[in-house]
Amino acid sequence: MTDSNEQHGVVLAGLTTMRVGGPAERMISPATERELLEATQRVWAEGDDWVILGGGSNVLVADEGFEGTVIHIVTRGIVRVGAPSGVVRLRVQAGESWDGLVEYAVANGWAGLEGLSGIPGSVGAAPIQNIGAYGQEAADALHSVDFLDYESGRVQRLPATELGLGYRTSVFKQGRAGLVLSVTFDLVDVPIPSEDDGDDSGDGDDSGDGDDSGDGDDSPADVSLTLGQPITFPQLASSLGVVLGARVPLAEVRRTVLALRSGKGMVLDDGDPDSVSSGSFFTNPIVTENFARALPAAVPRWLIEPEEEPIVVPLPELGIGVLDAQAAGISGPLPSAADPARAGAGADAGADAASLAARPPVVARTEDWSSPPAEPSAADVTLASGPLVKLSAAWLIEAAGITKGFRLPGSAAAISSKHTLAIVNTGGATAADVAELARLIQQRVSAQFGITLTPEPVYIGFD
């Protein structure tokens, strides 16, 4: 398997952003799409355990490493393929850098990915959890995925509509095994506003000839003026100084998103110890509206669409448990930020989080917490129907008494000093340190709110 750069005993910590994890029994790093396809098929035919590793920014690799083959994705290449007018369709190899792609799109004046600036990792991983930030997600621009299916052993072009893309999820997260070879995106080729647009001041150059100013029709278009997609995320809108729904030049959106992310330790930066992480360690829990109604009034919550920042929406304290509320069929729209008249109605500022702990934890699972964390939320949500509500995992963690900088005695894993949702390796942490802190967080939040937080990173090599 010489064409696949086969190696043995590579320590995976060096290939992950959390910088933890033991050796891979075998690792292959095929350089081209064809080699990747063929090498993967050979690995599958051998029947050994295997796992795919992209940029290592959303995994937690066990200290024992991985007994089997790590298929490391390093294929590169971006090609523009045919598309309807106004659309720029790019087919991108799985091993391309995600942020490199965003930078490339912005530099060319193509809209659709700018809000996803600064997310680490590879393009092939983007559809796996449908990466998202600042009001955009991969799904918004995703056209299709070229996928080597483990079941059939064949390559299929899966349209975005068949990928089950949702909040940090996809069919791949839900168990469809295989390899993303390439991802095709549809970006918006926005016409660049001309300097003459709307200019009726009469001072334009209407001489028709003799224009040697260098800003005439023949000069290259200034792509930095190209407008991005409408801004839908309040914090981003406020940093940009615009109203929600406004459109802002792509380069400005990218610059602002990168600055916001840096402030939270969410851009990989050798000079920022808080970026030695796997990003947000838990997803924001999604619960039924009825369940949300039984939470203390102070718990921030928001309806799933459109994506908004968490807001504190006081709800009536029902005085009954979640099961009772469901049995009683209590429903109806939640107050939302867009409906300030309702937001204060029935507030019970005195609702006490501690009193809730006495209630039966409806969605909590009784797990052996010495094992790797479970991924309960999808199953839990399907237990009940009705409108769904997103809660702020960061808020729940802080309310459960775990604050920024928290660490267990003797552990080198800590909560980021900038962002409660990130677990960071402060230097010399083991995977066990990280997993232990994650379990503690889950336990505390579960005990207090009856909610089991779902880890975002994928655990590799844990029993």
Catalytic residue ranges? 168, 280, 456
* Binder of ligand FAD out of 122, 170, 288, 426 (CB under 6 A): 122
What separation in angstroms does the CA of 200 have from each of 196, 204, 206, 209, 293?
Answer: 8, 8, 12, 20, 55
CB 413 within 8 A of CB 423: yes
Q: Please state, in angstroms and as integers, the Cα–Cα distance from residue 307 to each residue in 83, 235, 292, 420, following that order.
A: 29, 12, 17, 20
Q: Cβ 62 to ligand FAD, closest distance in Å?
A: 14
Residue 131 contacts ligand FAD per CB under 6 A:
yes
Spatial separation of the C-alpha atoms in residues 329 and 320, rounded to whole Å:
12
Enumerate residues 6+ apart whose C-beta is below 8 A from 451. Answer: 285, 287, 361, 363, 364, 391, 396, 445
Q: Does 10 bind ligand FAD (CB under 6 A)?
A: no
Q: Could you give the strand order of the β-sheet that contains 277-280, starting from the edge strand earlier in sequence?
A: 277-280, 422-425, 413-415
Site string for ligand FAD, 262-291 (x = CB under 6 A): ----x-x------x-xxx------------
Q: Is 57 in the site for ligand FAD (CB under 6 A)?
A: yes
Give the span between the Cα atoms of 349 and 392, in whole angstroms. Answer: 18
DSSP state of 401: T
Residue 267 CB, shortest distance to ligand FAD, in Å, is: 6
Interaction pattern, residues 205-244, with ligand FAD; x per rule: CB under 6 A:
----------------------------------------
Binding segment for ligand FAD (CB under 6 A), chosen from 46-54, 290-298, 302-310, 399-407, is 46-54
Nearest approach in angstroms of CB 16 to ligand FAD is 7
Give 3-state DSSP helix, strand, coil % of the chain, rounded to 5. 25, 20, 55
Residue 373 within binding range of ligand FAD, rule CB under 6 A = no
- Contact flags string 174-193 toward ligand FAD, x per CB under 6 A: -----xx-------------
CB of 460 to ligand FAD, least distance (A): 8
Asked if 234 and 244 touch (Cβ cutoff 8 Å), the reply is yes
Burial degree of 318 (CB within 10 A; 0-12, 13-18, 19+): middle
Does 51 bind ligand FAD (CB under 6 A)? Our answer is yes
The correct pick among 126, 303, 402, 429 for binding ligand FAD (CB under 6 A) is 126
Binding region for ligand FAD (CB under 6 A): 17, 51-59, 73, 94, 119-122, 124-126, 128-129, 131-133, 179-180, 266, 268, 275, 277-279, 458
